[in-house]
Amino acid sequence: MREIQQLSLPLYFVSKQRFEDVDFNGTMYIERDDTGYVGLVIGYQNPNSMYLVTWLPDYKTWLHGDCASCYSYHAHGGTAGVQIKKVHISTSDEDTIKSDLWLSSDSESTTLLWHDPNHIPWRTKTAYRWFVSHRPSTGYIRVRIYGAEDGLILDSGKVYDLQYLGGKLGFFNFQQPTTIW
């Protein structure tokens, strides 16, 4: 069990070992409601290339830039629910990377492969059991999440992408403190 006391940066925690075809599962518990992203990393190649399974509890806008003068003010929206994203970062601009990871649509650094059409949010003080299947040989990705009291609450069905053929596994956290894995 690991607990994350999170800052405002997107954090990846990945294994040392690379995996090919894999079933990845575990439990997460979110202690406090700060409406940030929690998620999983699959197919991790390097900090710029991976798949992310992200989960946001509500619509939330990511703000960056010099808001005092509002000359470089930008806002990017994230919507509630689970998403599967392909990450392909090609910039070193930290604000662009954060905004692109937050956004719930395609961006310069991410491609949205799937989004929960029901926009099911995570809830605090609830244990969630997740199961991810990744078959890089065929591009198959599937995410299922179970709630302790609700049973199956989400199934992405079959999602396909052949960009990353295997890689490391791990956890993702962005502005959501006190997540226990």
Are residues 101 and 110 in contact, defined by beta-carbon separation less than 8 angstroms? yes
Phi-psi region of 166 (alpha: psi -120 to 50; beta: other; left: phi over 0): left
Q: What pLDDT, on the 0 to 100 scale, is given for residue 100?
A: 80
pTM for the whole structure: 0.85
Give the pLDDT score at 68. Answer: 36
State the amino acid at position 170 in one-letter form.
G
Spell out, as residue ranges, where the chain has pLDDT lower than 70.
1-8, 34, 59-77
- CA dist., res. 171 & res. 29, Å (int): 13
At 85-107, the pLDDT tens digits run 999 999 888 888 878 887 888 88
Specify the pLDDT at position 91.
85
Residues 6+ apart with CB under 8 A from 84: 51, 52, 53, 112, 113, 114, 115, 141, 143, 156, 159
